[in-house]
């Protein structure tokens, strides 16, 4: 078996082991399934796949070990009502602060009231009851500040300065939206904007992804491989390391590495390696992180379902302003995430496809202007204002489309969407893509 194929199956079977262990929570059951599968492959003389069952066991065992480790840490904390730790990450919403607190070798989640406002690196005392790894609206006292990583603290200060530049150069709503699509910053979103994004099916636009990494890489790649990789990593840290941007960053770095060593780039392997590294860091993201699931599902839809749709509808060119390409990719991504949206949220808007098609085409230019505005505005106010004038019409257009489709959405709603229904749906989607590949 070729090395690149072996690498893919290595990652795939490890991830399968993590998946089975996460769903079942029973390593003995996972072990039994691996042994039965190994005997099946041996019976048909598929020795490589039989050997890969060992990777399934490793994935399941690794997940069981990490879960047991986490449970021991949480169990040691549940008898306490006062905790002392340092804020490692914080996300602001209109009514609360969602905090990741590092204490005694464990990370616990804290949902606190919006004020007093806390920040990364604050050393705090939390008084409240812990349920699993979550404390809801406890009493909080700040003990000290600037106790976090110095590099991350500087990056977050830079992020705040860029957000200030955007607010100074643009009207409030447009500045908030641009901050969302360039830096993933949603703290200044109004309730109306949040609702418009949700109802129109365009919330993913403010979830950092491959667009952001591509714009950064394209802008600074002339400065060399290592500099570009360093900037991408710093950008991920600055924006909170959400699942979608981490996935995009890993794949972007793999692309840059392939170009540097003059080797062919395998998109399938890049996706598998990105998932493997993220799951290795935290096995729970595979089953329990909706951002991880939506990011990878949408990407797989674009990579595998979109070409099948192009063949079915005989689309041979992108069309004016890539409108055909945008329609196909949007439909493919929506088909890939449909069970997840119905399962987690219970509804999806039919008109979201059209809303995304009308907005996505303008996104690359908007992001390019946004990064330029944020960077140049730090040093040259006048140049920042000029870029603000240029990007403002694009933002007005995009927000107008989002508002329109939020008022004229055609939602499909379900009371429940079972795992079995999701398995049947994805089996049909996989069969469709494989059938199309064989047909062509």
Q: What is the CATH number of the domain that holds 87?
A: 2.40.50.1010
Q: What is the pLDDT of residue 17?
A: 94
State the pLDDT confidence band at 232, using cuts at 50, 70 and 90: very high
**pLDDT digits 0-9 by tens, 405-433:** 999 888 888 888 888 899 999 999 999 99
Q: Is residue 117's pLDDT more than 90?
A: no
Given pLDDT bands bounded at 50, 70 and 90, which one contains residue 396? Answer: very high
Classify strands 96-103 and 123-127 as parallel, antiparallel or unpaired: unpaired
Of 50, 39, 48, 45, the C-alpha closest to 1 is: 48
pLDDT at 286: 93
Contact (Cβ atoms closer than 8 angstroms) between residue 177 and residue 208: no
Asked whether residue 114 falls in the same domain as residue 178, the answer is no
| Six token digits for residue 430 | 């996989």
8 A C-beta contact, residue 110 and residue 99:
yes
Q: Are residues 127 and 71 in the same domain?
A: no
> Residue 214: pLDDT band by 50, 70, 90 thresholds?
confident
Predicted local distance difference test score (pLDDT) of residue 209: 79
pLDDT higher than 80, residue 387: yes
- Predicted confidence (pLDDT) at residue 440 exceeds the cutoff of 80: no
- Based on the fold, state whether residues 325 and 402 are members of the same structural domain: yes
Are 72 and 83 within one domain?
A: no
Residue 21 backbone dihedrals phi, psi, to 5 degrees: -65, -40
Mean pLDDT for all residues in the chain = 88
Per-residue pLDDT averaged across 91-106, rounded? 83
pLDDT in tens, 152-207: 999 999 999 999 999 999 999 999 999 999 998 888 888 899 999 988 988 888 88
Q: Check residue 173 and give its pLDDT.
A: 93
| Among candidate residues 322, 408, 390, 381, the one with its CA nearest the CA of residue 357 | 322
Give residue-wise pLDDT tens across range 15-34: 999 999 999 999 999 999 89
Nearest to 306 by CA among 279, 277, 326, 280: 326
pLDDT-based confidence at 60, cuts 50/70/90? Answer: very high
Identify the pLDDT of residue 391. 94
Instruction: Please report the pLDDT score of residue 227 as a whole number.
Output: 92
Of 118, 147, 176, the domain-final residue: 147
Could you report the per-residue pLDDT of 354-381, keeping only the tens digit for each? 898 889 888 888 998 999 999 888 888 8
Tokens describing residue 217: 């890489």
Domain that holds residue 44: 3-76
Percent of the chain with pLDDT over 90: 41
User: Residue by residue, what is the 3-state secondary structure of the chain?
Assistant: CCHHHHHHHHHHHHHHHHHHHHHHCCHHHHHHHHHHHHHHHHHCCCHHHHHHHHHHHHHHHHHHHHHHHHHHHHHHHCCCCEEEEEEEEEEECCCEEEEEEEECCEEEEEEEECCCCCCCCCEEEEECCCECCEEECCEEEEEECCCCCHHHHHHHHHHHHHHHHHHHHCCHHHHHHHHHHHHCCCCCCCHHHHHHHHHHCCHHHHCCCHHHHHHHHHHHHHHCHHHHHHHHHHHHHHCCCCHHHHHHHHHHHHHHHHHHCCCCCCHHHHHHHHHHHHHHHCCCHHHHCHHHHHHHHHHHHHHHHHHHHHHHCCCCCCCHHHHHHHHHHHHHHHHHHHHHHHHHHCEEECCHHHHHHHHHCCHHHHHHHHHHHHHHCCCCHHHHHHHHHHHHHHHHHHHHHHHHHHHCCCEEECCCCCHHHHHHHHHHHHHHHHHHHHHC
Q: Where among 99, 131, 147 does a domain terminate?
A: 147
Q: What are phi and psi of 319, to 5 degrees?
A: 80, 170
Closest CA to 169 of 1, 337, 376, 344: 376
Sign of the C-alpha dihedral computed for residues 411, 417, 422 and 424 taken in this order? negative
Cis peptide before 17 (omega within 30 of 0): no
Residue 66 shares a structural domain with residue 96: no
* Per-residue pLDDT at 1: 61
Distance CA 185, CA 208 (A): 9
Report the DSSP beta bridge partners of residue 92: 97
Query: Do residues 48 and 63 both lie within one domain?
Result: yes
Is 215 found in the same domain as 92? Answer: no
Between 35-39, 92-96, 241-245, 267-271, the lowest mean confidence (pLDDT) is in: 92-96
Where a domain ends, among 76, 100, 134? Answer: 76
Number of domains the chain is built from = 3
Tens digits of per-residue pLDDT, 278-328? 999 999 999 999 889 998 999 999 999 999 998 888 877 766 667 788 888
Answer whether residue 3 shows pLDDT above 80. no
User: Is 167 found in the same domain as 142?
Assistant: no
Indicate whether 212 and 289 sit together in one domain.
yes
pLDDT recorded at residue 324: 81
The pLDDT tens digits of the residues spanning 130-152 come to: 887 788 889 999 999 888 889 99
Bridge partners for 86 per DSSP: 102, 123
138 with 245, same domain? no
pLDDT number for residue 63: 96
Residue 167 and residue 238 share a domain:
yes
Same domain, 143 and 161: no
**pTM as predicted:** 0.87
């Amino acid at each position: 078996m070729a090395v690149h194929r072996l690498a893919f199956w290595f990652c795939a079977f490890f991830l399968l082991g993590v998946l089975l262990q996460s769903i079942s929570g029973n390593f003995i059951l996972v072990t039994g399934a691996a042994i039965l599968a190994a005997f099946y492959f041996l019976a048909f003389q598929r020795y490589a796949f039989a050997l890969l069952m060992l990777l399934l066991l490793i994935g399941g065992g690794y997940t069981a070990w990490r879960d047991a480790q986490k449970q021991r840490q949480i169990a040691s904390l549940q008898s306490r009502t006062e905790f002392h730790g340092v804020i490692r990450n914080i996300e602001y919403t209109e009514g609360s602060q969602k905090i990741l607190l590092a204490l005694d070798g464990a990370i616990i989640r804290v949902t606190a009231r919006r004020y007093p406002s806390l920040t990364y690196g604050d050393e705090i005392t939390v008084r409240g009851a812990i349920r699993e790894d979550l404390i809801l609206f406890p009493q909080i006292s700040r003990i000290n500040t600037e106790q976090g990583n110095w590099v991350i603290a500087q990056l977050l200060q830079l992020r705040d300065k860029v957000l200030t530049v955007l607010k100074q150069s643009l009207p409030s709503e447009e500045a908030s939206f641009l901050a969302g699509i360039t830096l993933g910053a949603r703290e200044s979103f109004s309730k109306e904007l949040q609702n418009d994004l949700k109802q129109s099916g365009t919330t993913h636009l403010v979830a950092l992804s491959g667009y952001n990494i591509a714009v950064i890489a394209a802008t600074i790649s002339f400065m060399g491989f290592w500099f570009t990789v360093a900037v991408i990593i710093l950008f991920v840290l600055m924006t909170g390391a959400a699942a979608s941007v981490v996935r995009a960053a890993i794949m972007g770095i793999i692309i840059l590495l392939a170009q540097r060593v003059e080797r062919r780039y395998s998109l399938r392997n890049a996706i598998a390696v990105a998932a493997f590294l993220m799951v290795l860091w935290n096995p729970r993201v595979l089953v329990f992180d909706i951002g991880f699931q939506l990011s990878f599902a949408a990407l797989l839809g674009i990579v595998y379902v979109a070409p099948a749709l192009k063949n079915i509808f005989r689309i041979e060119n992108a069309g004016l302003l890539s409108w055909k390409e945008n329609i196909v990719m949007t439909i493919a991504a929506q088909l890939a995430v449909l069970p997840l949206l119905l399962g987690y949220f219970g509804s999806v808007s039919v008109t979201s496809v059209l809303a995304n098609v009308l907005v996505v085409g303008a996104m690359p230019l908007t992001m390019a202007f946004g990064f330029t505005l944020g960077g140049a505005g730090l040093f040259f106010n006048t140049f920042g204002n000029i870029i603000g004038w240029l990007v403002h019409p694009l933002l007005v257009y995009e927000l107008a489309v989002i508002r329109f489709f939020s008022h004229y959405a055609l939602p499909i709603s379900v009371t429940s969407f079972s795992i079995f229904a999701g398995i049947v749906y994805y089996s049909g989607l996989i069969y469709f893509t494989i059938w199309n590949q064989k047909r062509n």
